[in-house]
Each structure stands twice: as structure tokens, then as C-alpha cells.
Structure 1
Amino acid sequence: MGAQSSKYSKEIKAQMTQAFKDIDTNNDGKIQFSEFLNRLMYGVNVNQELVKLCFFLLDTNKDDALQQSEFERIFQVMVNASEESSIHTILCDLIDFNGDGFLDQNEIKAMYEFYKKPVPQSANDLGIKITKKKFEEYIKAHFDF
């Protein structure tokens, strides 16, 4: 993620660092799920299951906390999102860990790991690499958020 963050301006990097510090309320250098949820729920009604999924996808080292480099991924996705981006589009962007614009079987598997379910044949039938648009349609049909 360090190489990715170098493409941002000093202003954006400063905003990322400040946002991380603001959310890390216990100042331990990482964001716990409760801190992440509290920040997202501040004055807004959010789908907690969706927040858990986003946190799970961001936590690439699976230590149940977000390091600054993992947290920067949300900025990368949000900077590229438009006002018209649906939650499904943003979710597909989070799942696309390598940023190649396609979702491979390992990236799709990550979402099913969150739900502790095997990848169904219908997802396997999508192909080895699929477009985010095609997976977005699949998510809309198979997940309730």
C-alpha cells in the first residue's frame, strides 16, 4: 500500500493521516472495529453487517485491526468513487485488492470467507476473472444490502 499512497498529494496524505488519528480514539496506532463502526455511525444510520464486511476486506493481515496502510485503501476507493457510485460498486472496488479492474477467484473468495460460507457454484461459474460490473450484478442478486 505504501507505493499506492505515494501517488497522492501531500494534502491527501495529511488528510489520510489525520482521519486515521481521529478514528484511532485509544491511540494504539491501529483502528479497532468498534472505533471504525463508531466513526461511521456518527449521526448516520448504517448497515452494520456491511460495515463489518468492509472492515474485514480492509483488514488484509486479519489481525482484527486496521493499520494505517490498510486504512488508506478506503481513501483509494473513495477518491475513485463518484457521487453516483452505489454501495455495490464501492464494495467491488474494495474486493479488487490488486486494483486491476477485474475480480479473480481469490478476491471473490474473500467475501465468502467473511460469511464463513463456501463459494457457491454460481460464483465459480462467473469465470476466473470477471469485470467488476458483472460481479456487482451478482452481488445485487445474491446479497441483501
Structure 2
Amino acid sequence: MATKEQMEEWFKAVDTDGSGSLAYSELSDFLVDNRGYTAAQVEKIFDSTDRDQDGTISFQEYLDLMLSVPQEVQSESALRKVCKSFDKNGDGTIDKTELKAVFDELSRDLSMSDVERIMKMTDTDGDGVIDYNELCMKVFGQSCD
């Protein structure tokens, strides 16, 4: 679980106008652009987090929400972010070239046959790429849908 300091750091980064609270547009800009959420998902998150219905999310409202989110959900969110960072061309999947690039960035010298073996173990539907759900199955042992 993220520490209070990490949560505060994220909150301040998303609070682009420095007002000390998150407007809907700030949350939406971040979640849609960086996390791939839909507008409907952002609206649901915003409405459920803005408990005092003042049109903004205070740090305390955000903190209350984060402390109530199970660790598995936070881990899933982190995995989604990792998956998105692996997806260099932004098509929603990870191909063997992208997977090789990730290992290269981590200074892990894997041969293409090693990468292909990892792909084969993770690519359960056999389409030649790893999607988020396949990665989730490999990490959590269950679908994250």
C-alpha cells in the first residue's frame, strides 16, 4: 500500500492549479490520459469520492478513499500502469519486440528465444501479443476484468 506521503505526492501532482483540491477536470485529465479510464469511470470515481458534494475532491476525501481500497485493487492499478508502460506503440498489447525492449531497459540480456518463451507462457490466447488480462492472469492468477 502506498504511504500517506506517496498519496500526498500523487495528489499534488494531479492538482495542477495548486488549489489543494481536485477539480473534476484535473482528475479526468490525469485518469483518461495516463491511466486509460473512460469518462464514465472518472465520473463514477469523482462522484463517489466527493462526499461533501462541493464539486472538488479534498485531500482528506482522497485519503479516505485510498485507505478503503483493498491492496489487491491498488496492485491491479499498478500492474495496469506497468502494462501501459511496456506498450511502447500504444496499441493496448505487448508484442515480443516491446517485451525485449523492456528487458533491455532493465539491463537483462535475454535472447529473442528467451523472450519468445516468455511470450508463449503468457500469451494464453495465442494471438502473438500479451494483453492486460493475460499479464494479470500471470501475475495474480486470475482475471482483472
TM-score, normalised on structure 1? Answer: 0.46
Q: Which has the larger radius of gyration?
A: 2
Of the two structures, which has the highest relative contact order with CA contacts closer than 8 Å and spacing of 6 or more? 1
